[in-house]
Amino acid sequence: MSCSQCRPTGDFPLEGFIHIRSEHPVLLQSLQHIFSEDGLEGISSPIGVSAKYNNLPFLQSLCERLLSTFNDQAVQSFHCALTHTIDEANGFITWNPFHHFLERIKNRDLYEVIQQQMFTTYSQPIVSLKNEEIYGYEFLLRPLSDRIEFKPYELFQFAEKSGLQALLDGNARMTSIKNSSGTVPRGVKRFINFLPSSIYDPKHCLATTFRAAAESGVDPNDLVFEVVETEEIADIDHLKSILKAYQDQGMKVALDDLGAGHSTLAVLRELKPDYVKIDRKIISFCDEDDSKREMIQQIVETAREINAVVLAEGIERKEEADVVLKCGVELAQGYYFGRPVPTDRLAAAAH
C-alpha cells in the first residue's frame, strides 16, 4: 500500500482511451490481437497498449473479456489507466491493478460514493449502566442522500476489492470527527471505527486524522478508535504500533467484537486497549444462557487485569442489561438504549 491509495483517483471519462501495461511483451501482443478482433485500433507505445472506447459499458465488457481470456497470472500483471486523450498518456497518469480497475467499472455508483465522499454519520448512544446517562456515541457511516444508497458493509467490501479501502477508511474517520464537533458536548466520548489493514504506516496514514481532530477543536481524550477487522490479525506488533500512535496523541483505543472471530482473550491481553466491546452474539439472550454469562464474566475479569473498561454491544432487552451489569460491565449500547440517529440531530437535542 502506498500514499497514493489514500487520495481520490478521479472520475471515469465517459469516453477516452484505456491504457494497459504488462512486464510481459507477449501479453501486450495478445492484447493487440484482442483489440483488433473487437474492431479497436490498438496503439502500441512505450507504456503498453492503448485503445479508444466510446462508452463505459463497452469498456466494462472489454475488461471482462480480458478476464475470461487470460489466466490469473497474466491478469495479475496487467495495470490499467484511463485518459481523455491519447496524448495525456505521455504525462503522469495513475495506474491501477486490473482487478481493482474492473471492480471500479462494475460498481461505478459505489466508486462515486467514495470518490465524492457521499456519506455522513449516524450516532448511537453508549450509556453508563449504573445511571443510564450518556457516556458517548458510536459514529456509523450512512448514505448522504437517497441518490445513491448503500449498505455500509457492502461499501467497505467494494473498497477492499477495488483498492480504495485506505481512502474510504481515512475519510470516514475524518467525517466522524468533524461531524462530532459542535454536536457532542466536551467530555462525551466519540467511538470511531478504523481498519488496521488500511494503515501501513501510522505516522503518515493517521496524520490527517490527527489534523482533523486539532482543526475541529475536539479534545483528543474524547476520541476512542475501535479496531474492527474481519480477518485474523496477521501482524500483532504492527497493530500495537497503530494503537500506540493513537494513544501518544492522548486518544483512546478499543477492541471491538470480543468473543467473535479472531478477537480473543489472548488478543485482549496482548493489545491492552482502553476499552473492550463484547460482541452482540454473546450478549443476545445472555439472561437465558449460562455459558454466555460465564464468557461475559471471563471478559470482565480479563479486562480488569489490564485496566480496560468493558462495553456490552447489541443490548435489546432489559433482562440483558441487568445481567451484564451484575457481571461487572460498565457501559452498554443497543436498541434498548437508543437507535442510531443522524449526528446533526444530537445538536438539536442538546438545545
Structural domain boundaries in the chain: 3-105, 113-350
Residue 288, all three cell numbers: 437465558
The answer to whether 56 and 12 have CB atoms below 8 angstroms apart is: yes
| DSSP line for 302-342 | HHHHTTPEEEE----SHHHHHHHHHTT--EEESTTT---EE
Burial 3-33 (b: 16+ CB within 10 A, else e): eebbeebeebbeebbbbbbbeeeebbebbbe
Residues paired with residue 21 on neighbouring β-strands, in sequence order = 79
Q: Which pLDDT does position 231 carry in this prediction?
A: 60
Strands 275-278 and 16-21: unpaired
d(CA 40, CA 36) in angstroms, rounded, equals 5
Q: Which pLDDT does position 351 carry in this prediction?
A: 42
User: Smallest Cα–Cα separation from 212: which of 117, 146, 144, 122?
Assistant: 117
Sheet of 96-97: strand order equals 43-45, 48-53, 16-21, 79-83, 96-97
The answer to whether 126 and 135 have CB atoms below 8 angstroms apart is: yes
Classify domain 3-105 at the CATH class level: alpha beta
Q: Would 3-105 and 113-350 be classified into the same CATH topology?
A: no
Q: Which pLDDT does position 175 carry in this prediction?
A: 98
Classify domain 113-350 at the CATH class level: alpha beta
Residues paired with residue 18 on neighbouring β-strands, in sequence order = 51, 82
Rounded to 5°, the CA angle 239-245-247 comes to 105
For residue 239, the one-letter residue type is L
For residue 91, the one-letter residue type is G
Per-residue pLDDT of the chain (351 residues; tens, 9 = 90+): 445 566 666 678 889 999 999 999 999 999 988 888 877 777 877 779 999 999 999 999 999 999 999 999 999 999 999 999 988 888 888 899 999 999 999 999 999 999 999 999 999 999 999 999 999 999 999 999 888 999 999 999 999 999 999 999 999 999 999 999 989 999 999 999 999 999 999 999 999 999 999 999 999 999 999 998 656 677 899 999 999 999 999 999 999 988 766 678 889 999 999 999 999 999 999 999 999 999 999 999 999 999 999 999 999 999 999 999 999 999 999 999 999 999 999 865 544
Helices 98-106 + 56-69 axis angle, to 10 = 140
Query: Using the 8-state DSSP alphabet, how is residue 249 labeled?
Result: T
pTM metric for this prediction: 0.92
Give me the phi and psi of 34, to 5 degrees please.
-65, -45
Strands 275-278 and 252-258: parallel
Strands 223-227 and 189-194: parallel
Q: Which pLDDT does position 74 carry in this prediction?
A: 96
Q: How many angstroms from the chain centroid is the CA of residue 152?
A: 9
